Amino acid sequence: MLDYIVVGLGLSGIALSNHLEARKRSFVVFEDDSQTSTKVAGGIYNPVILKRFTLAWEADKQINYSIPFYEKLEKKLGEDLLNSFNIYRRFHSVEEQNNWFEAADNFRLSPFLNTQLIREVNSFIPSDFSFGKVDKTGALDTDLLVNSYKKYLQSHQLLKNERFDYTKLKLKEDSVSYDGVEAKNILFCEGFGVVKNPYFNYLPLRGNKGEYLVIKSEDLQLKQAVKSSVFILPLGNDLYKVGATYNHEDKTQEPTLQAKEKLQRDLDQLITCTYEIVDQVAGIRPATSDRRPLVGNHPEHPRLFICNGFGSRGVLIAPLLSEKLLNFIEDDIPLPPEVDIARFQKKFYKSSF
């Protein structure tokens, strides 16, 4: 009898598995490579919403927890996962500059919003209204994290590289069984894949498709990230990620010409040097209707749990929220009500009748 089955190895499943190991719990992970959100993500950690200069939900608390969490993972996996750099927000008007300085007076934002106006970041990125610098930001190499965590689990015989087939799950009062595996609890972390999960597909997880271009430019020589209508993120070796797009309608995983053309247009308004497009990637963000994560216990099956709905901020949310889910399961510590799926209980009973 295992303590847990984990379904899905994106940011959510990785954070949970890592906590389980730290707690010396026995577990096995199922992963079928059906979703790409974590793998294609920009991996940016940045507590500030750069459209409105507000703090993302609980992001100041999350960053203090998440960065040490990933630093420990770097040591465990022997990989350089974190790349710290500043993000420069290009201003489009004097009004935007004023809003930035007003926001920087807020004590929760002041550690991140630098109050020095930056005239130039790079000679190929002109700005009539200068740039604002965000401190304490950077990116997690999410693709490297997934690949190396997979190898780590494989080497400890903790990974089943296969689709979890919901029809084979048997629920008992104090355990679950699946294809010969018995466990006390099951943690569902399928990202947008949860729409196929008959136990949790009543939850309002809408999904939001995002696409990035990868460009190569020898001239640009940019070491920091710049945000205008799109982000440019340095990847090293003259490569940059440019994006991302947001699309509520299209739920396919493939890159589209429409997104490519939009990103190219935005990029051409941002940089003045030449570049070539070398790749394009796409994934579905697990976005929710009320922009809060979906965490907690199934209304009728006490052994089933979910850790999902991280939207566009999985890097910062996953480590702390997954720990809170385990505190809830193992120590009866209530979940924050704004993330607890109990808020959708009425929806569950409506959908069951």
Closest to ligand FAD by CB, 37 or 130: 37
191 lines the binding site for ligand FAD (CB under 6 A): yes
Whole-number Å distance between alpha carbons of 62 and 33: 27
- Interface region with ligand FAD, contact rule CB under 6 A, candidates 19-27, 250-258, 313-321, 345-353: 313-321
Whole-number Å distance between alpha carbons of 150 and 100: 41
Provide the minimum distance between the beta carbon of 222 and ligand FAD in the complex, in angstroms, as a whole number.
Answer: 17
Closest to ligand FAD by CB, 15 or 109: 15
Give every CB contact of residue 13 below 8 A, 6+ residues apart in sequence. 6, 7, 29, 31, 187, 189, 307
Q: Look up tokens 């990989």; give the residue.
A: 79
On whether the CB atoms of residues 137 and 66 are closer than 8 A, the answer is no
304 lines the binding site for ligand FAD (CB under 6 A): no
Q: Which of 6, 17, 27, 31 binds ligand FAD (CB under 6 A)?
A: 31
Provide the minimum distance between the beta carbon of 110 and ligand FAD in the complex, in angstroms, as a whole number.
Answer: 22
Closest to ligand FAD by CB, 48 or 130: 48
Q: Which of 132, 234, 314, 319 binds ligand FAD (CB under 6 A)?
A: 314
Q: What tokens does 329 get?
A: 């399961």
66 lines the binding site for ligand FAD (CB under 6 A): no
Q: How many residues touch ligand FAD (CB under 6 A)?
A: 42
Closest CA to 9 of 42, 39, 31: 31
Q: Which of 16, 222, 259, 315 binds ligand FAD (CB under 6 A)?
A: 315
163 lines the binding site for ligand FAD (CB under 6 A): yes
Output the CA–CA distances (angstroms, integers) from residue 315 to 63, 70, 122, in the order listed.
Answer: 9, 9, 27
Closest CA to 231 of 215, 252, 247, 219: 215
Output the CA–CA distances (angstroms, integers) from residue 155 to 68, 150, 151, 177, 250, in the order listed.
Answer: 24, 9, 6, 24, 37
Site string for ligand FAD, 210-229 (x = CB under 6 A): xxx-----------------
138 lines the binding site for ligand FAD (CB under 6 A): no
Q: What tokens does 18 get?
A: 């890592």
Provide the minimum distance between the beta carbon of 207 and ligand FAD in the complex, in angstroms, as a whole number.
Answer: 10
Per CB under 6 A, residues contacting ligand FAD are 7-13, 30-35, 37-38, 40-44, 163-164, 189-193, 210-212, 244, 283, 285-286, 308, 310-316
